[in-house]
Structure 1
Amino acid sequence: MTRTWLLPSHLVEAARTGALDGAEGPRPRRTARDWVVDTCLFLLAAFVGLLAAETSARYNSEAVTLADQIVGALACVALWLRRRWPVGLAVTLSVVSVVAPTAAGALLASLFSVAVRRPFRQVAGIGLLAIAASTVQVFVRPDPETGVPLGIALGVVVVLLVTAWGMLVRSRRRLVEALRDRALRAEAEAELRVEQAQRAAREAIAREMHDVLAHRLTLLSVHAGALEFRPDAPPEQIARAAGVIRDSAHEALQDLREIIGVLRSPGEGAEDRPQPTLATLDTLVAEVRGAGMKVVLDSAVTDPDTVPVATGRTVYRIAQEALTNARKHAPGAEVTVTVRGRPGDGLTVDVRNAAPSGPVTDVPGSGQGLIGLTERATLAGGRLDHGPAPDGGFAVHAWLPWPA
């Protein structure tokens, strides 16, 4: 059965747009949260740019200060493109910040965006470029208040902090995505397990219904067919056939009620009817004999109650299905049921019938009975073989484990 895994919609969108592998491409539409984050970063970059512009105004001419302010404003506006081109924007702002200190805030914001959205290799390259740009800026546009050594140290520390912060956010986002994906996978697997359990339960009930009802309904069909083809039979035979039909119908209703009771919840009136075991095999043989079938039971198990309940029930079902098939396909033939075994060696059951001696009544069948018996024996840890016998009859042989 093919399993279909469900992925979160944002992962599907990210895979489509290349957001997870670092590829440039069209970005999804901004959400309300994206607008809030972008606005906050814009304001933060503008605040840092104003501080740098104020410092530039104290030590530079009005023309240089005006140029710094214009470049800083353009750099802040360019931040609105960071979601579409984060790498290109970070490289551009790194170069611009060498000559324009007012672009430092926008550079840090773009560097944070790269650390959040791109793999470590790209982040490391952009981070080294930003460190180099801040170092060169100290010499191109020195700040008399900090000096060269402190300016270089501050630039390196700030770039590393922003990069680490962005990588931390990226790791947390990936962790949340992985947990969400795992939860969806677990939910899908749980639904699949429930569906498989329901299917297994339905198949078990269907097998049990076939094994139980096929025997009763075959009796009904055989004797009803006899009444149809022998309307002039003696009254005693007609009365006996009618009695078998009545008893079989009653037992079929009881068995059907028992199986349906399995589907009910506890306390809904399900009957606790005893399940068949090896000890009730004599009752089954007596029942089919009463219906006019020739059956010989040869059981070497002296104490059937010592046989495990599940194993005894499986033997009963195998004998019941084999007798039902013999009645349908070999009417009038003698059937021999042989049971052998002891603890430690296992339990064997053989059901053999000779070739039919008369015409075979057309009794409908699904052809799944022997398949179900084979599966039942396999689930019990045993095996079952069946096929035509050398004398033209049919034989069923099964072995089941019987622990010591």
Structure 2
Amino acid sequence: MTRTARPERLSWLLPSHLAEAAGTEPAGRPGRPRRTVRDWVVDTTLFLLAAFVGLLAAETSARYSSEAVALTDQIVGGLAVCSVWLRRRRPVALAVTLSVVSVFAPTAAGAVLASLFSVAVRRPFREIAWIGALAMAASVVQVFVRPDPTLNAGLNAALGVALVLLVTAWGMLVRSRRRLVEALRDRAERAEAEAELRAEQAQRLAREAIAREMHDVLAHRLTLLSVHAGALEFRPDAPPEQIARAAGVIRDSAHEALQDLREIIGVLRAPGEEAADRPQPTLATLDTLVAEVREAGMDVVFDTTVTDPGSVPASTGRTVYRIAQEALTNARKHAPGTEATLTLRGRPGEGLTVEVRNPPPTGPVPAVPGSGQGLIGLTERATLAGGRLEHGPAPDGGFALRAWLPWPA
């Protein structure tokens, strides 16, 4: 979820070094980023302030100095003010040069303050310290080299030092604020990247859930196909009615498996679209599952104390359905001809318990291929739902599966 429109709209407000770091500044000459609108406004303001201070100093020089000295001050002051436009490229060299020049030309005082501001904004504290000290020393020496008859020398020197300190502190404050903006922008970018990562992880987990759902659904359908096909293979002399019924179950199971597969593929192709029209199984459809298994030729005893299946949360009911579906499928595969018992107990606040038991097979068991991952998937499904699942051989030689799931009050 990248956002590029906002930085592009605000790039004209950012300083050139921030706009360049953000990747929004148009490419200019190598090593020389183009000024933004904000940079032009700041540079123009500093130029005008330096010119204003220079004009005040030039007026004083013309009043109390000779014509030649006043003309020299005006020329030097004009050049110093124009040099303010170079403060972004050579801030240290410009500040040092103007500090020295200001000792002999008071008209360069405004340009000195502008260059000190640039140094305080762009350079480390060590350079700021010695350049500021040089500027303060130059302002003190200038009082004695070019004294102003209208002001006291000590007051004039103190005013010069105060202005240098004030401009330097202002520049350092701006520098700290820019660093804070950069840190906040980096933090926002990291937060956005982490949000994208979390979204990708959530999408991956959703796809894994879909894959587990596909295993549970298709395993049940395909197992029915395999069992009935094996029954037809072992009983070619079965009555026509049984053969027709087995063929009907095979046909229906194949159709259901195809529908389930189409639904899952549709979700994978378009995760943002609405789900298929077929409702997800819940506890209310557990009777339908039992009836379907009985129609397939398996004896199932369904014992439940849950009188209102609709009151069970949909996610819990779906988990119970999948556990019962897989357990009954395994009982039909590994203990054909036996009677399985499906027991459902529970009430709000105590949880929901589902148990499937089957006795040992009484005869030979047809070899039905399987992945052996069904019980692992059920255990994971129960754990993700906040419950637990246990399975293993029963004392009578059969097999028992028992799961407990939370049912909030």
2:52 and 2:407 map into 1 onto residues whose CA distance is: 85
- Of the three residues 252, 255, 275, the one matched with 1:247 is 252
1:92 and 1:261 map into 2 onto residues whose CA distance is: 73
Deviations for 1:248-283, whole angstroms, at most 9, x for unmatched residues?
234445655776787889997953647331x54343
Q: In the alignment, which residue of structure 2 is the partner of 1:20?
A: none
Structure 1 residue identity aligned to 2:323: I
Give yes or no for the alignment of 1:358 onto 2:364: yes
Q: In the alignment, which residue of structure 2 is the partner of 1:276?
A: 282
2:309 and 2:385 map into 1 onto residues whose CA distance is: 18
Q: In the alignment, which residue of structure 2 is the partner of 1:285?
A: 290
Structure 2 residue identity aligned to 1:115: A
Q: In the alignment, which residue of structure 1 is the partner of 2:25?
A: none
Q: In the alignment, which residue of structure 2 is the partner of 1:177?
A: 182
2:306 and 2:118 map into 1 onto residues whose CA distance is: 83
Per-residue deviation, 1:290: 2.5
Give yes or no for the alignment of 1:30 onto 2:33: yes
Q: In the alignment, which residue of structure 1 is the partner of 2:377?
A: 372
Listed as ranges, the gaps of 5+ residues in structure 1 are 16-26
Deviations for 1:142-183, whole angstroms, at most 9, x for unmatched residues?
112333255235424533453354345435534543454344
Structure 1 residue identity aligned to 2:227: V
- Of the three residues 109, 113, 125, the one matched with 1:108 is 113
Per-residue deviation, 1:111: 0.7
Give yes or no for the alignment of 1:219 onto 2:224: yes
1:324 and 1:258 map into 2 onto residues whose CA distance is: 22
Structure 2 residue identity aligned to 1:138: V
> Which segment drifts farther, 82-91 or 203-212?
82-91
1:175 and 1:352 map into 2 onto residues whose CA distance is: 66
2:394 and 2:119 map into 1 onto residues whose CA distance is: 80
Task: Tell me, yes or no, if the aligned pair for 1:386 and 1:397 is still in contact at 8 Å.
Answer: yes
Structure 1 residue identity aligned to 2:203: Q
Q: In the alignment, which residue of structure 1 is the partner of 2:305?
A: 301
- Of the three residues 311, 317, 338, the one matched with 1:312 is 317
Task: Tell me, yes or no, if the aligned pair for 2:280 and 2:318 is still in contact at 8 Å.
Answer: no
1:343 and 1:192 map into 2 onto residues whose CA distance is: 37
Task: Tell me, yes or no, if the aligned pair for 1:79 and 1:109 is still in contact at 8 Å.
Answer: yes
Q: Which structure is higher in RCO with an 8 Å CA cutoff and minimum separation 6?
A: 1
Over the aligned positions, Cα root-mean-square deviation in angstroms equals: 4.4
> Which segment drifts farther, 222-231 or 118-127?
118-127
What percentage of aligned pairs have identical amino acids?
78
2:34 and 2:241 map into 1 onto residues whose CA distance is: 89
2:275 and 2:181 map into 1 onto residues whose CA distance is: 49
Per-residue deviation, 1:305: 3.0
Task: Tell me, yes or no, if the aligned pair for 1:258 and 1:271 is still in contact at 8 Å.
Answer: no
1:331 and 1:89 map into 2 onto residues whose CA distance is: 95
Per-residue deviation, 1:400: 1.2
The within-5 A match list for 1:121-140 is 123=128, 126-127=131-132, 129-140=134-145
The within-5 A match list for 1:41-120 is 41=46, 45=50, 48-49=53-54, 52=57, 55-56=60-61, 59-60=64-65, 82-83=87-88, 86-87=91-92, 89-118=94-123
Q: Summarize the Cα distance change of 1:162–1:237 in structure 2 as closer, same or farther, 3 Å threshold.
A: same
Per-residue deviation, 1:246: 2.3
Q: How many residues align?
A: 385
TM-score for the superposition, normalised by structure 2: 0.73
Per-residue deviation, 1:312: 3.0
Structure 1 residue identity aligned to 2:377: G
Task: Tell me, yes or no, if the aligned pair for 1:330 and 1:354 is still in contact at 8 Å.
Answer: yes
Q: In the alignment, which residue of structure 2 is the partner of 1:144?
A: 149
Structure 2 residue identity aligned to 1:340: R
Q: Summarize the Cα distance change of 1:203–1:267 in structure 2 as closer, same or farther, 3 Å threshold.
A: closer
Q: Summarize the Cα distance change of 1:331–1:14 in structure 2 as closer, same or farther, 3 Å threshold.
A: same
Task: Tell me, yes or no, if the aligned pair for 1:349 and 1:398 is still in contact at 8 Å.
Answer: yes
Give yes or no for the alignment of 1:188 onto 2:188: no
Task: Tell me, yes or no, if the aligned pair for 1:332 and 1:358 is still in contact at 8 Å.
Answer: no
2:260 and 2:230 map into 1 onto residues whose CA distance is: 23
Per-residue deviation, 1:242: 0.4
> Which segment drifts farther, 109-118 or 308-317?
308-317
Structure 2 residue identity aligned to 1:305: P
SS of 2:349's partner is coil
2:374 and 2:116 map into 1 onto residues whose CA distance is: 72
Q: Summarize the Cα distance change of 1:166–1:267 in structure 2 as closer, same or farther, 3 Å threshold.
A: closer
Deviations for 1:183-235, whole angstroms, at most 9, x for unmatched residues?
43444344334333433333333333332332122212221243345545442
Per-residue deviation, 1:384: 1.7
Q: Summarize the Cα distance change of 1:323–1:150 in structure 2 as closer, same or farther, 3 Å threshold.
A: same
Per-residue deviation, 1:101: 2.4
Listed as ranges, the gaps of 5+ residues in structure 2 are 8-15, 23-29
